[in-house]
Amino acid sequence: MAQLQQKPDTGKGGRKRSNRFSSSPDMTPMVDLACLLVTFFMLTTSFHKLQTMQISMPVPGAASPVGASDALTVILGENDKLYYYYGLADDKPEMEETDLSANGIRKVLVSDKVKANPKLVVLIKAMETSRYSNLVDVFDEMKITGTKKYALVDIDEVDRKLIASK
């Protein structure tokens, strides 16, 4: 282990000198211990893989395969505003405003009207002036509420007119 090395007596002049000890201990065991600890922690660490969401995007220009009774449209507006309506925009639906809190869009997504329809698809539409973090928050709400069917769709002029009239 760690031993102090003793220098031999030189014996000059017939005098006996006192024993001197070197002040540098042997560091080899400390280096071995450090290597063992690094190896231990490397082998026992678990690495997380990045979790990503897989989104199926619609084909551009294709007609919507979702019927009016099976659609819930969520529109992300500017200044962190969130709008939603049931059905499609062509049917002149009643648009309501909400927010990203637990009493906002989450309450809508867990409502009886949404859970009663197993074929319901949530159409998420973001305006150019909305923030990207709001889109991520809506995706998080989909995961939290267990909503399986949702799609990211381009916003159209009918939706813009509904927001302007609100």
pLDDT value of position 63: 63
41 assigned to some structural domain: no
pLDDT classification of 165: cutoffs 50, 70, 90 = confident
Residue 43 lies in a domain: no
Whether this prediction's pTM lies above 0.85 is answered by: no
For residue 2, is pLDDT > 60? Answer: no
Is residue 116 assigned to a domain? yes
Which CATH number goes with the domain that contains 113?
3.30.420
Asked if pLDDT for residue 56 goes beyond 80, the answer is no
Tell me whether residue 130 is in a domain.
yes
Residue 37 — very low, low, confident or very high, per pLDDT cuts 50/70/90? Answer: very high
- Contact criterion met (CB below 8 Å) for 27 and 82: no
Phi then psi dihedrals of residue 21, to 5 deg: -110, 140
Q: Is residue 115 part of a domain?
A: yes
What whole-number distance in Å separates Cα of residue 74 and Cα of residue 77? 10
Domain membership of residue 144 (yes or no) is yes
How far is the C-alpha of 88 from the C-alpha of 92, rounded, in Å? Answer: 8
pLDDT at 10: 58
Report the pLDDT value the prediction gives residue 36, as an integer from 0 to 100: 94
**Structure confidence at residue 16 (pLDDT):** 62
The tally of domains found in the chain comes to 1
> What whole-number distance in Å separates Cα of residue 63 and Cα of residue 81?
28
At residue 33 the predicted structure's pLDDT band, cuts being 50, 70 and 90, is: very high
CA-to-CA dists, residue 40 to 32, 34, 44, 48, 49, angstroms: 12, 10, 6, 18, 21
Asked if residue 129 belongs to a domain, the reply is yes
Q: Give me the mean pLDDT over the 71-75 stretch.
A: 89
- Is residue 50 in a domain? no
Please give the residue range of the domain that contains residue 160: 68-165
Q: Are 159 and 73 in contact (CB under 8 A)?
A: yes
End-to-end CA separation in angstroms for the chain: 81
Select from 71, 55, 67 the least CA-distant residue to 120: 71
Question: Which pairing describes strands 121-126 and 150-153: parallel, antiparallel, or unpaired?
Answer: parallel
